[in-house]
């Protein structure tokens, strides 16, 4: 089950997690061969902020340290309201993790509950 992370529309926020392998052991930056992010609106699967399997291995606002601590500094463009008639909507951030030259993979998913703030432009 994915964690739920709440943000206000068009704000800068920091999301953190720990990356783990299939056994639950931490996967640090030195072991990673790839890290991709797909960000989409849960209701209609539309991609948000062109983050469609985007390389985020210490790039594009995402860092991972040697202890597997992932930090994503979300940009305002990462959390827009797609349907302005809703008071909130759910977006999904899917991190695809690869190590051992991508022979091994796991993923980390988080539901982002975006709160609609009236009059935000």
pLDDT in tens, 39-77: 999 999 999 999 999 999 999 999 999 999 999 999 999
- Whole-angstrom distance, CA of residue 106 vs CA of residue 121: 37
Q: What are phi and psi of 77, to 5 degrees?
A: -70, -15
Contact status, residue 15 vs residue 61, Cβ threshold 8 Å:
no
Which pLDDT band, with edges at 50, 70 and 90, does 121 fall under?
A: low
Q: Average per-residue pLDDT in the chain?
A: 94
pTM: 0.93
- Whole-angstrom distance, CA of residue 29 vs CA of residue 56: 12
pLDDT at residue 119 greater than cutoff 90: no
pLDDT at residue 29 greater than cutoff 70: yes
């Amino acid at each position: 089950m994915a964690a739920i992370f709440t943000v206000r529309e068009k704000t800068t926020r920091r999301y953190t997690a720990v990356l783990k392998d299939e056994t639950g052991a931490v996967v640090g930056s030195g072991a990673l061969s790839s890290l991709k992010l797909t960000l989409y609106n849960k209701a209609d699967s539309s991609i948000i902020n062109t983050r469609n399997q985007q390389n985020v291995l210490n790039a594009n606002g995402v860092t991972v340290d040697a202890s597997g601590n992932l930090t994503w500094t979300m940009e305002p463009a990462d959390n827009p309201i797609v349907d302005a008639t809703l008071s909130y909507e759910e977006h999904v951030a899917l991190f695809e993790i690869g190590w051992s030259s991508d022979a091994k993979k796991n993923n980390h998913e988080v539901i982002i509950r975006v709160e609609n703030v009236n009059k935000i432009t």
